[in-house]
Amino acid sequence: MDQQARQSKRLRRANPDGEDGAGGGGGSTGSGGAAQGQAARPAPAQAVVQAARQEELVQAEERAADEPGITRLEMLCAAPENRGANLTKGDLNALLEAGIHCVETLAFMPMRKLLEVKGIGDQKAQRIMAAAKQLVPMRMVSAAEMLVMRKNMVQITTGSAQLDGLLQGGIETGQITEIFGEFRCGKTQLCHTLCVACQLPIDRGGGESKALYIDTEGTFRPERLVQIAQRYGLNEEDVLENVTYARAYNAEHQEKLLTEAAGVFCESRYALLIVDSATGLFRTDYSGRSELADRQQALNRFLRKLQRIADEHGVAVVITNQVMSSPDSGPSAFMGPQVKPIGGHIIGHASQTRLFFRKGKGETRICKIYDSPSLPEGEAMFAISPGGIMDAEGR
């Protein structure tokens, strides 16, 4: 998700008459100036052709701006000497039916999973993996190179400067960020704000891309996106069109939606995937200690797919999580009700950054860094407004 590839359509649209107008004003002087100026003017038919070509260039730039940064499966149809695998149209259809939509998926998946695809034998699988490794190189890099990549990473603003400061820039792309807390503490409101913020230009803290919202609790409200778009001065219809919504009705459906999401990410440029919440349906579909092991295994598979999507497409994955009471004994029992996130160690190890939200006074909320490989422990206060997440007044 480099910055040049993320320039928005409106910012990149050039004035089709700007260059021609500058050239047309350069007529020569003297007795032959009028004749030369007249000769320089294109004929009506030529003007139409030039205008059509200019429009084609503009449309090509718009398509390039919306093109996802992935390697398409059609590249594997080439010969092995051209970094292909000699695949046929039928082979590509078999890969698509198996939920494989780009070469990046093949490069990151184990060989045994590829052999499970119908019509893919051992020799063909080896050709596919060899071609995928060439098209999507996975090499070792130095810490210095990794630091440069981290500095160039796109981060999405939360809408609050104080919260962005706590996160040292905002929500990271290519990573899983977990937000947990009690009800009415701002988790869903932050998700709505991020759906709009990811469409902002990069210099304003956005990703100039679309968002996909998977809703498991029925709390998604498009009218909130309209209000937040008004705060940022964005076109309301464009904002709504750039947010893809899916409702999950059970844990199995929630996992299948990730396969569909991977296909959507190959069709257009996305910067954000939200799952609100990631654990709610697993809590209801798997009940009791007898199904605890099955629940944790299913949740682990779901989180692993989320991480693969983040790796393959470079999107920011934001998941919300529910909490449960922790009636611990000892000194903490006298410090008010204690809560801890659902999912245990499974979700704790899967998330790179974990944020704990809790209620403050009035409309203010408090965010605490619960776990992060790079961010120090700290807290920041923010507020919920009609325009989404913003700084708390007087803080």
Chunked mean pLDDT (size 10), the chain, 395 residues: 41 40 41 44 65 64 59 92 92 93 92 93 94 90 94 95 96 96 94 97 95 96 97 96 97 95 93 95 91 94 95 95 76 63 92 95 92 94 95 75
Helix (H/G/I), strand (E/B), else coil: 48: helix
**What are the pLDDT digits (tens) for 226-268?**
999 999 999 999 999 999 999 999 999 999 999 999 999 999 9
Distance in angstroms between the alpha carbons of the first and the last residue of the chain: 34
Phi, psi of 47 (to 5 degrees): -60, -40
**What are the pLDDT digits (tens) for 312-342?**
999 999 999 999 887 665 555 555 558 899 9
**What are the pLDDT digits (tens) for 167-195?**
999 999 999 999 999 999 999 999 999 99
Give the CA distances from residue 316 to residues 66, 227, 234, in Å, rounded to whole numbers and listed in that order.
Answer: 17, 23, 21
Phi, psi of 318 (to 5 degrees): -120, 120
User: Long-range CB contacts (< 8 A, 24+ apart) of 167-171?
Assistant: 167/353, 167/375, 168/374, 168/375, 170/205, 171/272, 171/316, 171/318
Q: What is the pLDDT of residue 69?
A: 73
**What are the pLDDT digits (tens) for 106-119?**
999 999 999 999 99
Q: What is the pLDDT of residue 29?
A: 42
Whole-structure pTM over 0.85, yes or no? Answer: no
